[in-house]
Amino acid sequence: MTSTMRPPKLLEARHAGDETGPAGPEPAPRARRGYLMLNGAALVAITAMALGAIGILYLIQTSQVAQLGYQLSHLQQQYDDLTNANEKLQYQVDHDHSLPVVQQVALTQLGMVPMHDFKFIQVDRPSQDQLPPQAPEPRPHHSLWQRVRDALTGTSSADHVDPTTTAPPSRGNGATP
């Protein structure tokens, strides 16, 4: 029995050595295609190798993720330890800056004594006329290009002082000139 599906007359004619049949001459055998023809065992082997490679890649990736997780845990522990040490140092600084500790250091280490007898003295503030004139602040020297840039960007300043005014403006301290 053959694997092709032909009418029985063609099969009989072929066995008899007759090259022609009722349908005419038999067609030439097909040319092989350019791709690789594989049998079932080769396909199974290639599939098994591909699945094995995928499995190995999955295991490598899983181990790398686990390793990164361990590193993250270690870094988190270091962060927590450093945070605790920082908090202890901040507590020590706050404790050393507290008033009782400062007072104790002043009395014992610096030789200071507590003040028991004190008096308040009222000092009259001199008027604005009695104060010496303030020296004008030196103007920064800017180049022409800096002044043009400042003018274009709106960052220039008006620092011209009117020479007719001699007294500086009032500072709101209640003193009269």
For helices 99-108 and 40-96, the axis angle rounded to 10 degrees is 60
The pTM (predicted TM-score) of the whole model is 0.38
Distance separating alpha carbons of residues 77 and 85, to the nearest angstrom: 12
12: pLDDT strictly greater than 60:
no
pLDDT in tens, 117-149: 888 888 888 788 888 888 888 777 788 888 888
Cα dihedral: 40, 43, 47, 48 (round 10)? 60
Is 1 inside a domain boundary?
no
If one counts the domains in the chain, the total is 1
Q: Do the domain assignments include residue 94?
A: yes
Residue 101 lies in a domain: yes
Token couple for 53: 């490679």
Does the residue 148 lie in any domain?
Answer: no
Q: Let me know if 5 is exposed, middle or buried by CB neighbors in 10 A (0-12, 13-18, 19+).
A: exposed
H or E element that contains 41: helix 40-96
Looking at the domain assignment, is residue 6 inside a domain?
A: no
Per-residue model confidence as pLDDT tens digits over 33-90: 556 677 888 889 999 999 999 999 999 999 999 999 999 999 999 999 999 999 999 9
Q: Is residue 162 part of a domain?
A: no
Print the domain residue range for 47.
40-106
Query: Does residue 60 sit within a domain?
Result: yes
* CB contact at 8 A, 9 and 21: yes
Domain-located, residue 177: no
